[in-house]
Structure 1
């Protein structure tokens, strides 16, 4: 999105995860947590990889249920404009995150 010269950038507000969030509904209806967030935020894998420093191939592994490190989780949270705690709360099994 372009803006005029001198205009202030639009501030990014953190998304708040709750039981009535669209991602929570997607997870309840069978989506993987990573896929649900990715479809909600609509960031192409190439750009997501650039923003997070995580290789694109790693996203497929996470989508298929691989464990995710705390650093990866924090990088994804920054890219998706959500707090790391809310992102962690959206993951159904705490065993998925390794610190």
Structure 2
């Protein structure tokens, strides 16, 4: 994904890296659910996230309430938030939330 402003060179968007010092990790440690923490950190409205991922917006409510996530959904969310799918899974309370 690239950011672009007319007349300026394109700036590549790099992948974020998950760590215990990541702002999302701090938000999760203070009580936020992993999905809500990512939505807040990336400031993505459900409508915009749905457009970027192809996931229906009402599905985000289920995920936010603790529902399992398909690998395809993880991949789409990872692309939208510029993080690897494995790092996104690492931010979840359990990798068992991801189903194939």
Aligned twin of 1:4? 6
Aligned twin of 2:21? 20
TM-score (norm 1): 0.92
Quote how far apart the aligned CAs of 1:9 are.
1.9
CA distance in 2, matches of 1:3, 1:70: 33
TM-score (norm 2): 0.91
Aligned twin of 1:83? 84
The runs of 5 or more residues in structure 2 that have no matched partner are none
Matched, 1:35 2:59: no
CA distance in 1, matches of 2:62, 2:50: 14
- Report the aligned-residue RMSD: 1.4
- Bigger relative CO (Cα 8 Å, ≥ 6 apart): 1
